[in-house]
Amino acid sequence: MSENIPTMPVLVDGPPAAQSPLLPHLDSPTRVRRETLKQILRSKTFVLGVIVTVFWVVCAIFGEWIAPYHPIDESFGTFSYESPSWDHPLGLDRNGRDVLSRIIVGARSVIAVAPAAMLLGVGAGSMLGLVMGYFGHWVDNVVGRFLDAVLAIPLIVLAIFVLTALSAGNEGISVSSWQLIVVIGIAFTPPVARTVRSAVLAERDLDYVQAARLRGERSPYIMFAEILPNVTGPIIVEATVRLGYAVFTVATLAFLGYGPQPPSPDWGLQIAEQYADISLAWWAVVFPALAIATLVVAINLIADSVQQVLDE
Amino acid sequence: MARYTLNRIGLGLISLLLLSMMVYAAAQVLPGNPGRLVLGREASPEAVEQFNERLGFDRPLPVRYADWLSDAVRGDFGANYTDGRAVTDDLVPALQRSGLLALYAFVLCVPLSILAGVIAAVRRGKPLDRTITVAGLSLAVIPEFVLGAILVAVFGPAFLNWFPGIAGVLDGLPLLTKLDSLFLPALALALVLFGYIARITRAGTIEALAADYTRTATLKGLSRRRVLTTHVVRNGLLPTIAVVATQVGYLFGGIVAIEKLFGYPGVGLLTLSAAQVKNFPMLLAAVLVIGVIYFVATLLGDLLTAALNPRIRLGAER
């Protein structure tokens, strides 16, 4: 950043601070932000990622209006499976339902859960990371051990365990969207907290924090009003990356049976239901699989271009 | 180094202990009445009482936890709620099956991704580099079961019919048959890891390419091939080896969905079926064992990284 500053006009008297008005809004935050935004928008991968993501979000919101048929209508065709045709471009599945309509409407169950889970995880993780990084010492150590414990098993295994325990009183497994959001959000908290913590550690000893301490500001004010604005970069990157993982996790859990139940057109559930007959009707499996793949890759392209620009 | 190692092991054990406490408490507190849960709504109150007494549910939670843990560290995870068989009877063979699948995935993945990483580094900034990087990054975020389903659609019975789309129980079959049946599930796991390992290799190789010893070797008049194989790749690979070890634990997350897709009865499928019938002794054992595998793998990876990096080895850890 310092290389952007042109040679300063030398003023013989007056402290360096007095010179800043002479450099008209050179590094003003809004200007830097606008520059960064422009750079991100210029990236082709970002634009591609946004287009695909927006497409699926539109499907998630307006699914029934866009879809040519009703997603759980089983009344097509005399035989259940039917290969892609003019009437049904992506074919019919085992129950004789239109695959295209099911994919369009099926976007909803993922897109309703993943962003909320990400927000919860990034919110709680940032808070925890701020506290750990700012206070350090025993706070950092104790909280750190709990985070490590949660990180010691893979996310999917953790989610299966907690969701099973939550539905222990019921017959079988029943999982609500709220439970999914909370469990995935909590599971996302440790990795976010770690990232934010190390970003805070780099800020903690800088002059502006010392100055705030000397002014007698209270800790919450320093954490949220002084340090937080300076670690938004890593938090934004973390948020975009986590959004991709949230879709990954929600889709995988749905496939494993921890999510919407039949006859829901959820993508992961469709694959689980139709996979056994993949040699008879590949279209009932491949198209939902491609739907999941395009959404996660699109979000990941967004995350990658944001990360590249913010890292520079 | 010894101090770092001890520190690392100690912290890891504390995490595992905390993990075991949290999952044990969750498994015991949330289900409410285990006897009622297992025996069903029609069972008589006496039978429920008897069941709870037999499994020791009338004792306080900390006592039960201590008992369970002291048995568990000796390799005894108790008996299934459902059929009373010892948990380890099913868990051990399942772990062996998953181990084979995981090993297979690594054998497929590591050489391929290292090669791709080195090529990307040598062609840095060229379209080939960009392709490898973006492809690797994209593959890493696609869920394993999605890749598995697409692979089966292409290479399985629907089109090419090169490999089976179902693995099933393979015990007692010759190794070659196993490897044939497990090719697609292993490949799906390998593709997810590919991007990560390739990226680390690329970074390591780029660093080695810029190093002074590489310049010296080039100026000495060694052929480009010689410089690459003996100087660049050898040094560039060091960080990769450490990273590969840490990925073992990660693999056990993806293995759950892959085993379900291919019907392969490893530890992932076992976990799922235990969850379905709420067989908590099995579920606890599976979570703990996966935690231990994760711990050992990351420990090895970290120690290897430390051994290669004097800044960590000599204790500058914050």
Alpha-carbon torsion angle B78, B80, B84, B85, nearest 10:
-80
pLDDT value for A171: 63
The answer to whether A165 and B26 have CB atoms below 8 angstroms apart is: yes
pLDDT value for B312: 58
pLDDT: is B56 or A150 the higher one?
A150
Say how many CA atoms lie within 13 Å of A13 toward its Cβ. 0
- What digits encode the pLDDT tens for the residues A182-207? 999 999 999 999 889 988 888 888 88
Q: Is the pLDDT of residue A13 over 60?
A: no
Query: In chain B, what residues touch A278 (CB-CB under 8 Å)?
Result: 149, 152-153, 156-158, 165
The CA-based angle B49-B50-B54, given to 5 degrees, is 120
Which tokens sit at A180?
Answer: 């999914």
- What digits encode the pLDDT tens for the residues B203-218? 888 887 777 788 888 8
For chain A, what percent of residues have pLDDT higher than 90?
23
User: Hey, which residues 216-235 in chain A have their CB within 8 Å of chain B?
Assistant: none
Q: How far apart are CA B247 and CA B257, in angstroms?
A: 17
A132 to A126, A128, A164, A203, B306: CA distances (angstroms): 10, 6, 31, 13, 24
Cβ within 8 Å of residue B85, ≥6 positions away: B79
Measure A294 CA to nearest chain B CA, in Å.
9
Interface test with B, best of A90, A156, A157 (most B CBs within 10 A): A157
- SS3 letters across B20-67: HHHHHHHHHHCCCCHHHHHHCCCCCHHHHHHHHHHCCCCCCHHHHHHH
Q: Buried b vs exposed e over A270-290: b needs ≥16 C-beta within 10 Å?
A: bbbbbbebbbebbbbbbbbbb
- What digits encode the pLDDT tens for the residues A102-134? 888 888 989 999 999 999 999 999 999 999 988
Please report which residue ranges of chain A form alpha helices under DSSP H.
Answer: 29-42, 44-66, 99-135, 137-151, 155-166, 177-204, 207-214, 219-221, 232-255, 267-274, 283-311
Q: Is the pLDDT of residue A14 over 50?
A: no
Candidates A153, A172, A245; nearest CB to B294: A153
User: Average of pLDDT values for A229-238?
Assistant: 88
Q: How far apart are CA B112 and CA B200, in angstroms?
A: 13
Q: Is the pLDDT of residue B64 over 90?
A: no
Interface test with B, best of A267, A279, A290 (most B CBs within 10 A): A279
Q: How far apart are CA A157 and CA A145, in angstroms?
A: 19
Residue of chain B nearest A145, judged by CA positions:
B15
Q: How far apart are CA B90 and CA B279, in angstroms?
A: 13
ipTM above 0.90, yes or no: no
Q: By the CB < 8 Å criterion, does A146 face chain B?
A: yes
Q: By the CB < 8 Å criterion, does B78 face chain A?
A: no
